[in-house]
């Protein structure tokens, strides 16, 4: 079986350094925040090209806190996309605001700036584009829109560690950016983790308070806060992995290039890549009109795949209250029907990439016959 993602191989690759690092944290008893988290915050913010990183317990919490720090609350509208992981939208509801969906661009599969412009109302506070699959949204037109209308831009960069847009790192494009360190992400903890990064010192200070009970000084609660702190051991694990992230991302890009070559004649649509962006290839997502059949046949052939995502958020039963329905976002709905994520991780071999591509080519030929 060729696995979709191989976290055990990742552990084998880091364990000589990770085990002593974990032991140091355990022996120091600095289990929550502490020096490892502080060092990781600085190192990860530097990768993003900004001054401040605020480590939290999940990517979802990072989105929640970024929206709070932007002053978003009941009566406000936040523009985002339905073709994303549900957390993007849940966080908007957590602060009591209204998610306003706009469709994605059909090729890039991120927020369509023209549609975003049409969705702005006097209640709009934030644009929340998602850097889906490891490729940034088309940020310049979105930043121009935000500037013209006095909106805050928050990047959902949970899939885009190490990506860049026109030479600027993901994480440095909006006022704040949100990252997840869920184990399967390009940079993942040995458990849960997340971070907000920002260049703005005042926002950073507010975010630090919000993640730790709204207090700067213990037991003095200036704001309504949360217990969203990052564990010390996760800070240590993430530091060990962060050193390897650039090489891991290079391997992902090499695998993506090889997939692209091997799939050129196969009957699937390969991912569209913006020429001026550095893709982090969190996921390698192809499209096919008979996606479910292709996925089932690949499974039979020993190739594990994933679906990101099979149901757009506006059609999820838990979000029916937002009042959207089928047909509202055709590009997102078409993507949900057709996308298939092929195995992608740095611990896949080139031979495995060729094997997967060969199986895809064979099966699509049979399906099209
Ligand atoms: C993973 C992810 C999140 C949520 O991160 P968690 O750490 O799982 O809470 C949010 N948005 C996107 C686009 C993601 O991929």
pLDDT in tens, 253-286: 999 999 999 999 999 999 999 999 999 999 999 9
User: For a pocket test of ligand 1, which of 5, 111, 155, 158 has the largest count of ligand atoms closer than 8 A to its C-beta?
Assistant: 158
Q: At 263, list the tokens.
A: 């799939």
CA-closest candidate to residue 127, choices 109, 105, 160, 149: 149
Domain identity same for 177 and 270: no
For residue 2, being part of any structural domain is answered with no
Crossing angle of helices 350-368 and 245-262, in 10° steps, is 30
pLDDT of residue 369: 82
Quick one: average pLDDT of 113-131?
98
Q: At 184, list the tokens.
A: 């399967």
| DSSP per-residue codes, 275-308 | TTEE---S-EEEE-TTHHHHHHHHHHTTB--B-S
For residue 341, being part of any structural domain is answered with yes
Number of structural domains, the chain? 2
For residue 24, being part of any structural domain is answered with yes
For residue 224, being part of any structural domain is answered with yes
Domain identity same for 127 and 180: yes
Domain identity same for 131 and 233: yes
Model pTM above 0.85 = yes
Write the CATH number for 300. 3.90.1150.10
Write the CATH number for 18. 3.40.640.10
pLDDT in tens, 79-88: 999 999 999 9
For residue 271, being part of any structural domain is answered with yes
Mean pLDDT, all residues of the chain: 98
Find out whether the peptide bond into 309 is cis, omega within 30 degrees of 0. yes
pLDDT of residue 368: 87
Q: At 311, list the tokens.
A: 């149901």
Residue 62 near ligand 1, beta carbon < 6 Å: no
Domain identity same for 14 and 151: yes
pLDDT of residue 74: 98
Nearest residue CA, atom 6 of ligand 1?
59
End position of a domain, from candidates 193, 226, 242: 242
End position of a domain, from candidates 214, 242, 270: 242
Domain identity same for 214 and 250: no
Q: Check if the beta carbon of residue 87 is closer than 8 Å to that of residue 111.
A: no
pLDDT in tens, 87-97: 999 999 999 99
Domain identity same for 214 and 295: no
Residue 106 DSSP label: T
Question: From ligand 1's centre to the CA of 157, what distance in Å?
Answer: 9
Domain identity same for 143 and 262: no
Residue 135 DSSP label: -
Domain identity same for 219 and 270: no
For residue 1, being part of any structural domain is answered with no
pLDDT in tens, 324-358: 999 999 999 999 999 999 999 999 999 999 999 99
User: For a pocket test of ligand 1, which of 55, 60, 80, 133 has the largest count of ligand atoms closer than 8 A to its C-beta?
Assistant: 60
> With 0-12 CB in 10 A as exposed, 13-18 as middle and 19+ as buried, what is 131?
buried
Name the pLDDT band for 153 (thresholds 50, 70, 90): very high
Which residues have CB under 8 Å from 176's CB, separation 6+? 66, 69, 70, 152, 154, 155, 196, 197, 198, 200, 203, 207
Question: From ligand 1's centre to the CA of 351, what distance in Å?
Answer: 30
Residue 88 near ligand 1, beta carbon < 6 Å: yes
Domain identity same for 222 and 250: no
β-bridge partners, 56: 194, 229
For residue 75, being part of any structural domain is answered with yes
Domain identity same for 193 and 55: yes
Which domain, by its residues, includes 199?
7-242
Residue 204 near ligand 1, beta carbon < 6 Å: no
Domain identity same for 119 and 238: yes
For residue 120, being part of any structural domain is answered with yes
End position of a domain, from candidates 242, 271, 306: 242
Domain identity same for 41 and 128: yes
User: For a pocket test of ligand 1, which of 58, 61, 86, 87 has the largest count of ligand atoms closer than 8 A to its C-beta?
Assistant: 87
Nearest residue CA, atom 2 of ligand 1?
158
């Amino acid at each position: 079986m060729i696995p979709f993602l191989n976290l055990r191989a990742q552990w084998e690759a880091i364990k000589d350094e990770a085990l002593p690092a974990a032991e140091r944290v355990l022996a120091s008893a600095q289990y929550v925040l502490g020096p490892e988290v502080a060092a990781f915050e600085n190192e990860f913010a530097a990768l993003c090209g900004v001054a401040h990183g605020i480590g939290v317990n999940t990517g979802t919490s990072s989105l929640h806190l970024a929206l709070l720090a932007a002053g978003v609350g009941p009566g406000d509208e936040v523009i985002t996309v339905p073709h994303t992981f549900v957390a993007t939208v849940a966080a908007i509801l957590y602060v009591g605001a209204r998610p306003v969906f706009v469709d994605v661009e059909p090729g890039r599969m991120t927020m369509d700036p023209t549609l975003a412009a049409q969705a702005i109302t006097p209640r709009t506070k934030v644009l929340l584009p998602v850097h889906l699959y490891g490729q940034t949204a088309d940020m310049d037109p979105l930043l121009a829109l935000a500037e013209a209308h006095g909106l805050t831009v928050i990047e959902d960069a949970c899939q885009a560690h190490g990506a860049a847009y026109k030479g600027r790192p993901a994480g440095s494009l909006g006022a704040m950016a949100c990252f997840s360190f869920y184990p399967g992400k390009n940079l993942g903890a040995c458990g849960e983790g997340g971070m907000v990064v920002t260049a703005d010192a005042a926002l950073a200070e507010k975010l630090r308070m919000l993640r730790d009970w709204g207090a700067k000084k213990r037991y003095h609660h200036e704001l309504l806060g949360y217990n969203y702190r990052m564990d010390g051991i996760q800070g240590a694990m993430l530091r060990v992995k962060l050193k390897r992230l650039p090489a891991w991302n290079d391997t992902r890009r090499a695998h993506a290039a090889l997939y692209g070559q091997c799939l050129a004649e196969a009957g699937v649509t390969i991912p569209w890549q913006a020429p001026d962006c550095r893709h982090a290839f969190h996921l390698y997502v192809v499209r096919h009109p008979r996606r479910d059949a292709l996925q089932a046949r690949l499974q039979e052939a020993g190739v594990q795949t994933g679906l990101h995502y099979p149901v757009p958020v506006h059609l999820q039963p838990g979000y029916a209250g937002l009042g959207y329905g089928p047909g509202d976002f055709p590009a997102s709905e078409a993507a949900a029907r057709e996308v298939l994520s092929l195995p992608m991780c740095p611990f896949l071999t080139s031979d495995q990439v060729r094997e997967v591509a060969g199986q895809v080519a064979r099966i699509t030929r049979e399906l099209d016959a």
